[in-house]
Chain A
Amino acid sequence: MRKLLVSIPLVAFLGLGVFLFKGLFMDPRTLPSALIDKPFPEFSLPSLYNMDEELTQLDLQGEVALLNVWATWCPTCKEEHAQLNKIGLEEGVTIYGLNYKDDPELARQWLERYLDPYRKVIVDEEGYLGLDLGVYGAPETYILDKKGIIRYRHVGEVNESVWLHLRELMQTIEKEDA
């Protein structure tokens, strides 16, 4: 009994040590999303291809898809664009774009120059939808299920290894929905 009591501080210390040690390898920049498993926020914003057309959250439903938050002022968005082209144009995965706090004219030029992997692009010039989504830095990529519910969020560049992970998740969600 006494031995047990004496070992408590050591055990507590080791527990704390493991906890803090794990913290050393966590990225403080990835925040847990508050919106996982919640429906995509309601919005009504113009489409980049036709500014008179209003897009809403209903336009994002129907299939398991990616939603990519991007802007022309965002250097990492440029880096990941080739990967998005591969995902959207070669593999035929549905990607919706959310053009975040950007000039639509510049955005159109960018898509013309670097190719356009997006099915639809929402224009969020003021960043209201970004705010509702809890966007804190572009690029961000979300997985939406058929009902338009947010299932996963990735902050930062989508590269090949991230994409493999995302694709696996999308396939699992697809099975669940079926």
Chain B
Amino acid sequence: MIRSILILCVLSLVVFKSHAGFETYEFTSVEGERRYAQLSRELRCPTCQNQNISDSDAPLAADLRRELHRMIESNQSDDQILDFMITRYGDFVHYRPRMAPETYFLWYGPIALMLIGLGVLLVVAKKRKRKQSATSGHSSVNAQPSLSEGLTEDERKRLQSLLQQDDQK
């Protein structure tokens, strides 16, 4: 019994490699290898949507890696390679969307929102400051003429005494 449990334990340590394993590519230059590594991380696999083509073991990702290798070895520029991918699979395929009228909102939106926020903050702060400077230096009643407007002389006196009472506290 113990023996068979031990055997089971040992067997459970054996890891079976379930997928075919990634192909290896030879590069004529170190630069090419670096570009391959970078681009294969930047390109998104269209089938398994949240993986890049270097992570994915989908057959389509393997095809795209093959094309990527071929294009790098034939000395095509990064832009040429990205154009090739985008004309086939659309902007979706690139994790770093290009600058185009339809992506302006994506690129400039956050900056625009931040500027708007800063603008609002400035306006609010300025208003508050103006109010404060208007209050200080004058008596509170004069600063807020609207409060005593339309009051009779008696009421105004009463209001003033109430307000001063408040100040003394």
Pairwise interchain contact B67-A31, C-beta atoms closer than 8 A:
no
- Contacts A131-B67, A136-B46; is A34 near B88 (CB within 8 Å)? yes
Select A137's contact among B47, B64, B92, beta carbons within 8 Å.
B47
Task: Report Cα–Cα, A134/B88, bound state, in Å.
Answer: 5
Is the C-beta of B59 less than 8 angstroms from some C-beta in chain A? Answer: yes
Cβ of B97 under 8 Å from chain A: no
How many residues of B are in contact with the other chain, CB < 8 A? 14
Cβ distance B128 to chain A, nearest Cβ, rounded Å: 15
Complex CA distance for A132 and B64, rounded to whole angstroms: 11
Give chain B nearest CB distance to A148 CB in angstroms: 17
Question: Does B95 lie at the interface of the complex (its beta carbon under 8 Å from any beta carbon of A)?
Answer: no
A34 and B67 contact, CB distance less than 8 A:
no
The 8 A CB mask of A115-145 against B (1 = contact, 0 = none) is 0000000000001001111111100000000
Give chain A interface residues in 19-43, CB to chain B under 8 Å: 28-29, 31-35
CB-based contact A134/B90 at 8 Å? yes
User: Does A154 make an interface contact (CB < 8 A)?
Assistant: no
**Chain A residue contacts of B60, Cβ below 8 A:** 127, 135-137
A101 sits at the interface (CB 8 A) = yes
If A101-B59, A131-B63 touch, whether A31 touches B46 (CB-CB below 8 Å) is: yes
A29 to B46, CA, bound (A): 9
- Interface on chain B toward A: helix, strand, loop, or mixed SS? helix
**B44-62 at interface with A (beta carbon < 8 Å):** 46-47, 49, 59-60
Number of residues on chain A facing chain B (CB within 8 A): 17
CB of B89 within 8 A of chain A? Answer: yes
A-B pairs under 8 A by CB, number: 39
In the assembled complex, the Cα of A134 lies from the Cα of B90 at a distance in Å of 8
**Min distance, Cβ A173 to any Cβ of chain B, angstroms:** 22
Which of A35, A127, A131, A133 counts the most chain B CB atoms within 10 A? A131
Are A136's CB and B89's CB within 8 A? yes
Please give me the residue from chain B that is nearest to A135 by CB atom.
B60
Contact A132 B49 (CB under 8 A): no
Cβ distance B76 to chain A, nearest Cβ, rounded Å: 15
Ordered by A's residue number, 28 sampled pairs between the chains whose C-beta atoms are within 8 Å are: A28-B49, A29-B49, A31-B46, A31-B89, A31-B90, A31-B92, A32-B90, A32-B92, A33-B90, A34-B86, A34-B87, A34-B88, A34-B89, A127-B59, A127-B60, A127-B63, A130-B63, A131-B63, A131-B64, A131-B88, A134-B88, A134-B89, A135-B60, A136-B46, A136-B47, A136-B89, A137-B46, A137-B60
Known: A32-B90, A34-B90. 13 other contacts (CB 8 A): A29-B49, A31-B89, A32-B92, A33-B90, A34-B86, A34-B87, A34-B88, A35-B88, A101-B59, A134-B46, A136-B47, A136-B60, A136-B89
